[in-house]
Amino acid sequence: MRNCLTLISLLWLLGTVPCRADHVQQDSVRSCEYSLLMQVRGREITGICMMNIEPDGRIVGTIVNEFGLKAFDFTYHAGKTKIINAMGPLDKWYVKRVLRGDFAFILTHIALNKAAIKRKATGRRPQVGNEQSQACLDSAEREQTRPKVKDAVHRKRSIAVLPNGHVRMENHRYGISYTFIPMRE
Amino acid sequence: MTMKQLSLLLLVAVCSLQSWCQNKLTAEQQKQIIEKIDKAASAVTSMQCDFTQTKRMKLLSKDMQSKGVMYFKRPDKLRWQYTSPYDYTFILNGDKVHLKSAHSTQNINVQGNKMFRQITSIILNSITGAGLQSTSDFNVELYQIPAETPIPERSSPTRSLSRSPISPSGYFAKLYPKKKEVRQVYNVIEIYFNQSLTMVSSVKMIEKTGDVTQVNLTNVKPNAVVNEKLFDTH
C-alpha cells in the first residue's frame, strides 16, 4: 500500500511540475506576432512571423505562410542569428546566409525596441546579456524618447522603425525588403 | 500486489490502450471504406463551412490559431478565406490562383509551379476525402477510432493538439506523400472523417520539422448554393 501511494505521489508530481514551469514561462516570456511582407526583386511574399522574446533578450521565432506552412525558424542571441528548419527550396547555404544576415539586423532592432518600450511601460530596467548589449539598449531607449525614430544603416542594409511599430528593413545588395506589421502582443 | 507487479500491469495497460486507440484496417476493410468515402465525396458538388486552423510549433510554446470560411465547388473551385486574426484569401479557379492579403495581391498559374500544384491538389482532395484513391501521390493507411475513445495522440511526433473537436468515433486516413515536392514539407497528412463517412471533419498535417497544423471544419453545409463570384480570380 505504501509503495502504491509512493507511485501515485510520483505520478502526481510528474504531472504538476511541467504545468508550473509553463506558467512561469508565460509570465516572463513575451510573444509577438507580425504580419510579414517580403519583397524580392518586385515579387511579393506574405506570411506571419511569431517570436518569443525572453528576459535576457534571446529570441526564438518562426516564419510561416498564412496556411501555417513553415518557411523557417530562427534564433537570436547577443547579436547572432541562426536559421533552422528551413523548408526545401530555402534550405540552401547561400539563401540561409542572406536570411541570417538580414534577420540578425532586424532582430537586433526589434529586441532593442521592445526592451525600450517595456522599460517605458514598467519603469524597470530589462536585463540584457552583456555590457555591449546594455549600451545598445541605452541608446535605443534614448531613441524612444525622441519624437522621430532614427533610421539605421549598416553596410548594405537599412532599417526604419516607424512610430506605429512597423519595422521595414531593406537589403540593398540583393533588392530584398521586409516589412513587419505588428498583429498583437 | 508488489510494486513490480503494479508497474507491469500499468505498462500492459498503456500498451494495450495505444494499440486499441488506433485500429489499422485490413486491405479489404480499407477498400470498402474508401469506396464508401468516395461515393459520399462524389455526391458533394459544392460545400460551405467555417474552419479553425491551429498550428503547434515545436520551437514556440504558444499555438497559432486562425479562423475563416471556406467555399468549394466541383471540380476545382475553392475559396479559402482567413478572417481572424488576419485577412487573407486564397481563391483557386481551375489553373488560376488568386492570393489577397491586406498588403498585397497576387495571381499565380498553378501549372507553372509544381509545388503549388501539389499543395492545391492536397487541399482539394482533403476537403472531400477523394484523395484516398490516389496511390501515385500517397501511400494511404486507414484507421478506425473506436467509440468513446480519446483522439489518438501518439500519431503525432510532437505534443498532440489540445481538445480536438473531431468526432469521438469514426475513421481517419494517414497519407504518406510519395512525391518529392510534398515529401520536402510533410511527413504525413491525417484526414479525419465523421462517423457516417460522409464528411471530412478535420485535417492534420505533420511537417518534416515536427510542427503540426490542424484544420477543423465546422458548420459544414454540403451542396449549399455558392455564388460563382466568390471564385473570381480577377
Residue A133 inside a domain? The answer is no
pLDDT confidence of residue B120: 73
Q: Which residue carries 541562426 as its cell?
A: A82
On whether residue B61 sits in a domain, the answer given is yes
The better pLDDT of the pair A57, B148 is held by: A57
Asked whether residue B81 is domain-assigned, the answer is: yes
The residue-averaged pLDDT of B102-129 equals 75
Q: What are the DSSP E strand ranges found in chain A?
A: 30-40, 43-53, 59-64, 70-77, 80-84, 152-154, 157-161, 167-171, 176-184
pLDDT of residue B155: 41
- CB atoms under 10 Å from CB of A132, counted, come to 11
pLDDT value of position B196: 75
Does any domain span residue B191?
yes
**With an 8 Å Cβ cutoff, are B185 and A89 in contact?**
no
The CATH number of the domain holding residue A97 is 2.50.20.10
Q: CA nearest B10 in A: which residue? A: A7
Q: Which residues from chain A sit within 8 angstroms of residue B64, using beta carbons?
A: 33, 48, 50, 64, 68
The mean predicted confidence, pLDDT, of chain B is: 78
- pLDDT tens digit string along A8-65? 444 443 333 333 333 334 557 888 888 999 988 878 888 999 998 888 888 999 999 8
Flag whether B212 is in a domain. Answer: yes
Q: Answer yes or no: is A168 within a domain.
A: yes
pLDDT at A123: 52
Higher pLDDT, B61 or A120: B61
B205 chain-A contacts, CB cut-off 8 A: 68
**Taking CA atoms, what residue in B is nearest to A74?**
B59
B13 CA to chain A: closest CA distance, Å?
16
Read off the pLDDT of each residue in B26-33 and give the average, rounded to a whole number.
83
Q: Does A35 touch chain B (CB under 8 A)?
A: yes
Task: Summarize pLDDT for A153-175 with one digit per residue, the tens.
Answer: 777 888 887 777 788 899 999 99
Residues 6+ apart with CB under 8 A from B108: B96, B97, B98, B99, B116
Domain-embedded: residue B52: yes
Angstroms from A142 CA to nearest CA on chain B: 31
A37 contact B CB<8A: yes
Q: From A53, A49, A52, select the one nearest A70 (Cα to Cα).
A: A49
Give the count of domains, chain A. 1
Looking at the domain assignment, is residue A21 inside a domain?
no
Q: Which one of A25, A67, A167, A178 would you mutate to disrupt binding with B, by most B Cβ within 10 Å of its Cβ?
A: A67
Q: What is the count of structural domains for chain B?
A: 1
Does the residue B14 lie in any domain?
Answer: no
Q: How far is A45 from chain B (nearest CA, A)?
A: 8
User: Domain of A97?
Assistant: 30-111+146-184
pLDDT tens track for B35-59: 888 888 888 888 899 999 999 988 8
Query: In 3D, which of B83, B13, B27, B73 has the Cα closest to residue B46?
Result: B73
* Burial status of residue B122 (CB atoms within 10 A of its CB: 0-12, 13-18, 19 or more): buried
Q: Which tops the pLDDT comparison, B199 or B115?
A: B199
Range of the domain at B196: 26-221
Q: Categorize the per-residue pLDDT at A146 as very low, low, confident or very high, splitting at 50, 70 and 90.
A: very low
Q: Per the domain annotation, does B39 fall within a domain?
A: yes
Is residue B226 one of the residues assigned to a domain?
A: no
Report pTM: 0.72
Residue A158 domain-assigned (yes or no): yes
**CB atoms A87 and B90 under 8 Å:** no
CATH at B216: 2.50.20.10
* A48: closest chain B residue by CA: B86
